[in-house]
A and B are shown apart, each in its own frame.
Chain A
Amino acid sequence: AQTVTQSQPEMSVQEAETVTLSCTYDTSENNYYLFWYKQPPSRQMILVIRQEAYKQQNATENRFSVNFQKAAKSFSLKISDSQLGDTAMYFCAFMKPPTQGAQKLVFGQGTRLTINP
């Protein structure tokens, strides 16, 4: 079974700083997807960024980028120029490629990120 571990329960940075959230995972699969989800105080889950394991290039979405180290099974999220609206719980998640239509996500425990003014 796959497991996802986020070792930082809480983090806090000043606005405009850069912050990196860590995630490690365990799998015997060679092809899979990795995700970072954001859950603000409203508790709505929002997809931040996605990485396909077969792609060597790290994914980027505006101020959000990842450092994907497949051999080390590490998948960290970097938030540049952090904003107050980035304050949220961040979840790392793993998924095997869907074979029959359903996509089962396995989530880490989450990191509570606070951006201070």
Chain B
Amino acid sequence: DGGITQSPKYLFRKEGQNVTLSCEQNLNHDAMYWYRQDPGQGLRLIYYSQIVNDFQKGDIAEGYSVSREKKESFPLTVTSAQKNPTAFYLCASSIGARVYNEQFFGPGTRLTVL
């Protein structure tokens, strides 16, 4: 079945540690996205990538980094510079053409900083 997988589902981190969230898709989509969701707020865009080896900052990129070495993978690293990293993180992908195509979401990763 085609879809987006995120791992792990729950992740715990000690303060000061970097942690990497995985996002993989087998939909053959060119574009991929990372969103952050906090209680009482909607999703906010962290980073997005339109094509392999290219990515752009979203609205809240500080304290995060990404890479896009393969079309199917878009890992997100939460660095120690992120002041309040505890949140729910969602990955998404879309075909990436210059016309609208539905954005599909993964199941999410809940990150908790201890």
Contact = CB atoms under 8 A, between A and B. Distances in A.
B98 A104 contact: no
Interface residues of B, number: 31
Contact of B30 (A6, A95, A101, A108): A101
Nearest to B55: A102
B50 A100 contact: yes
B43 A101 contact: no
Interface hub of A33, A44, A101 (most chain B Cβ within 10 A): A101
Contacts, number: 73
B108 A43 contact: yes
Interface residues of A, number: 28
B98 A110 contact: no
Given A43-B88, A43-B107, A101 B40 contact: no
Interface of A: 4, 6, 9, 33, 42-45, 47, 50, 52, 91, 93, 95, 97-110
